Amino acid sequence: MSFAGLSLGRPIIMGIVNVTPDSFSDGGDNFDTASAVAHGLRLIDEGAHIIDVGGESTRPGAKQIDSIEELARVRPVVRELISAGALVSIDTRHAKVMEVSVDEGVQIINDVSALTWDPSAIKVAAQSGAHVILMHMKGTPQTMTGEAEYDDVVGDVIDYLAGRIKACADAGIAIGRISVDPGFGFAKNTAQNFELLDRLDEIAALGRPVTVGLSRKFGKEAKPKDRTKTSLSLAAQAAEKGASIFRVHEVAETISALNRTS
C-alpha cells in the first residue's frame, strides 16, 4: 500500500511548517516566507517525506481567517518548496486554498474538518486528484473545547471517519487517495486522547493509512517546545498500534525514535 506515492512499508514523516502568528506551539516562528521555506527545507534534510504547510491556526480558540489572508501566507511558501522538489501537503479548511495550492503542485490536502467545513471542499478535492487526509473534529477550533462528549470516543470517531470515507468515495475521491486522522486534541479530553491511542488499531482496521498528530500536544507541565520526550514516546506507541503517517515538529528525533521501535 502507498499514499501520495510513498510506500507505507515504513513510517511516513510529515514535517510541520506553520506560517501563522498564533499556532499553539510555534506561532510566529516561521511567519515570513523566507523563514518558513528555510524551515521546510531543513525538515527535508532531517528526513521528512512530506512538508505540511498551514496558514491558519486551529488551536483551541484560534481566530478564524479568510481564504485571501490564508493564501497570502501559504502560496509563496508552497511555491518555493515545490520548486525545491518537496512533496507538499496543504493544511486548510478553505476550498479556494486547496484549489490554488493544488494548481501550484501540492499533492495532499490535509483538512481538520474532513472536507465538511467549506461546502465546496469535497468537490474541489475530488476534481484535484490530490490525496486527502480526513481528520475527526467536533465543532470548530473556536468551539471544540466544549464538545468533548462521547458515548464511546473510539466508536464515535470510527463511525465518523467511515462516513467521511464513504462521502468522499461517493464524490469521486478514490479510496486509495484517502488517509484518516483521529484528531488527537481536537474536541477530546486527556482520557479520551489516550483511549484513542490505546485503541488506534481499531481505527487502522478501517483499511486506510492512519495519520497521527501527537507532536507537542501532551505533557502540559512543560512548555510546548519542551515536550519532545513525551511526543516521541507517543509516536512510538502509535506506530505499534498501526499508525502510518506522523505529523511532527521534531523530524530527526521522531525518525530515530521510530527506528528504535521497528
Provide the annotated active-site residues: 217, 247
CA distance 47 to 61: 32
Dihedral sign for Cα 10, 247, 188, 112, please. negative
What are the CA-CA distances from residue 209 to residues 43, 59, 177, 203, 212 (Å)? 22, 24, 10, 9, 10
All cell numbers assigned to 208 = 486506510
Beta bridge partners of 7: 2
| DSSP annotation of 140 | -
Dihedral sign for Cα 35, 254, 213, 203, please. positive
